[in-house]
């Protein structure tokens, strides 16, 4: 019987990079899950799935497709969160730029609009199983499909970003979305996350985007 990891890999695109074995390029991590991530990348060095809704970063940047080493470079976007995005290795993203990452005790999601983590799975295989079971919710597949059917293929290095942030009531519909380079979208939403960080539930704020 195939594992969840093998099943997910079987429906992914081909490797985004033919270069293998560049784990030394990645940020150091003491998480036991780091070795699982390396094994995953050895099997599939970056890939797209669910009509580009799921993007798994390759080891290295390949043309416009940013790799793990560059994506986890603090200067690219992580420092923009003033510590909120620290302590993780980001290895994949959904269609809206929500991040999947490794922390010490599991696989987490990182919401770029509010700068918060949420534990999703205990290991890589479990994460693969959850993606397969809940792919529409966890990757935004249906939105990616509808967008590309109406507007054409999503370019490499881009995600669909809300004009009105989801946290501010923006809807998950094509009319509220636009294409933006992934790292620019993360830096823009870091500004939003910093502004709402200390606002209590039910509080109000005027966004400066």
Q: Quick: pLDDT tens for 22-54.
A: 666 666 667 788 889 988 998 999 999 999 999
Nearest to 160 by CA among 149, 176, 171, 136: 176
Mind giving me the DSSP string for 11-75? HS-S-S------GGGSPP---THHHHHHHHHHH-SSEEETTTTEEEPPSS-BTTB--HHHHT-TT
Q: In the predicted model, is pLDDT for residue 200 greater than 70?
A: no
Q: Quick: pLDDT tens for 58-90.
A: 988 888 899 998 999 999 999 999 999 999 999
Q: Beta strand pairing status for 177-181 and 158-162? A: antiparallel
pLDDT of residue 108: 98
Check: pTM over 0.75? Answer yes or no. Answer: yes
Confidence label for 204 from pLDDT (cuts 50, 70 and 90):
low
Q: Where are the domains of the chain?
A: 4-196
pLDDT of residue 27: 65
Separation between Cα atoms, residue 107 and residue 126, nearest integer Å: 9
Q: Quick: pLDDT tens for 87-116.
A: 999 999 999 999 999 998 899 999 999 999
Question: What percentage of the chain exceeds 90 in pLDDT?
Answer: 74
pLDDT of residue 63: 85
Estimate the share of the chain in helix, then strand, then coil, as percent rounded to the nearest 5.
35, 20, 45
How confident is the model over 180-208, as a mean pLDDT? 82
């Amino acid at each position: 019987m195939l594992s969840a990891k093998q099943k997910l890999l079987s429906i992914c695109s081909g490797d985004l990079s033919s270069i293998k074995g560049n784990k030394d390029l990645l940020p150091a991590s003491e998480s036991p899950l780091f070795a699982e991530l390396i094994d995953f990348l050895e099997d599939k060095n970056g890939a797209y799935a669910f009509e580009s809704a799921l993007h798994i970063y390759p080891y290295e940047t390949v043309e416009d497709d940013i790799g793990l080493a560059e994506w986890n470079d603090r200067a690219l976007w992580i420092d923009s969160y003033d510590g909120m995005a620290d302590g993780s290795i980001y290895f994949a993203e959904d269609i809206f730029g929500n991040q999947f990452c490794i922390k010490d005790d599991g696989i987490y999601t990182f919401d770029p609009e509010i700068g918060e983590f949420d534990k999703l799975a205990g290991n890589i295989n479990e994460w693969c199983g959850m993606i397969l079971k809940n792919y529409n919710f966890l990757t935004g597949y249906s939105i990616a499909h509808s967008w590309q059917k109406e507007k054409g293929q999503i370019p490499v290095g881009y995600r669909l970003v809300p004009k009105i942030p989801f946290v501010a009531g923006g809807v998950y519909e094509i009319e509220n979305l636009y294409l933006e380079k992934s790292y620019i979208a993360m830096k823009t939403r870091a500004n939003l996350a910093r502004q709402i960080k200390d606002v209590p539930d039910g509080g109000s704020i005027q966004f400066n985007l």
